[in-house]
């Protein structure tokens, strides 16, 4: 069993193998530091233990790899949303969400909230809508596709707004709205 050394600064016990750490005392404090080990020993395993070494350089990603990774993540997130929403223009929604990724968690959460008010069989659509006066301005809309009368649907939507949506609207940062579409 390895010895336990105590880091006096915080008082936490730290497992210590006599061959891998040394205790240095300075100003009544003990510090546990790794012994200086020949880095060559770790090269055979493919790892370098000093953080400024070639390991960090070898593991860094190019900007193309980062962009590719982000695009894949957005695709995965949007594909998961397809089970909850009808998405008529997939590429448009994908481009919008790639610029506004903070909306994904909200988009995953909202259907269950809407179902509490409109029922579990309610269909939802996801669309990007543009301001007619400002084509550069766009918002993502969740549309509740309903066969209810306008009066009944509006009453339910008002309750949804009052009970949940208005409290969570700030999370949408003026990029997401919820509305009704009568079918």
Q: Specify the long-range contacts of residues 29-33, CB closer than 8 Å, at least 24 apart.
A: 30/5, 30/6, 31/7, 32/5, 32/7
Exposed / middle / buried, residue 40 (Cβ in 10 Å: 0-12, 13-18, 19+): exposed
pTM: 0.64
Give me the pLDDT at residue 1, please: 44
| C-alpha atoms less than 13 angstroms from C-alpha of 146 in its C-beta half-sphere | 22
Give me the pLDDT at residue 181, please: 96
- CA–CA separation, 140 and 178 (whole Å): 9
What 8-state DSSP symbol labels residue 60?
A: P
Architecture of domain 83-182: 2-Layer Sandwich (3.30)
**Strand, helix or coil for residue 137:** strand
| Stretches in the chain below the pLDDT threshold 70 | 1-59
Give me the pLDDT at residue 87, please: 94
């Amino acid at each position: 069993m390895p010895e336990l050394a105590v880091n006096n600064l915080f008082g936490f016990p730290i497992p210590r193998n006599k061959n891998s750490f040394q205790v240095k005392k300075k100003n009544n404090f003990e510090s546990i530091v790794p012994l200086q080990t020949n880095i060559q020993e770790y090269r055979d395993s493919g790892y370098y233990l000093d953080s400024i070494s070639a390991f960090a350089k070898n593991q860094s990603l190019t900007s193309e790899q980062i962009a590719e990774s982000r695009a894949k993540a957005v695709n995965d997130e949007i594909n998961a949303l397809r089970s909850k929403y009808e998405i008529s223009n997939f590429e448009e929604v994908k481009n919008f969400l790639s610029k506004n990724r903070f909306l994904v968690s909200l988009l995953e959460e909202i259907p269950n909230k809407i179902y509490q008010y409109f029922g579990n069989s309610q269909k939802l659509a996801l669309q990007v809508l543009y301001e007619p006066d400002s084509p550069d301005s766009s918002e993502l809309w969740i549309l509740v596709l309903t066969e209810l009368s306008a009066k009944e649907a509006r009453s339910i939507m008002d309750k949804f707004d009052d009970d949940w949506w208005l409290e969570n609207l700030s999370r949408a940062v003026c990029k997401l709205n919820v509305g009704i579409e009568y079918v």
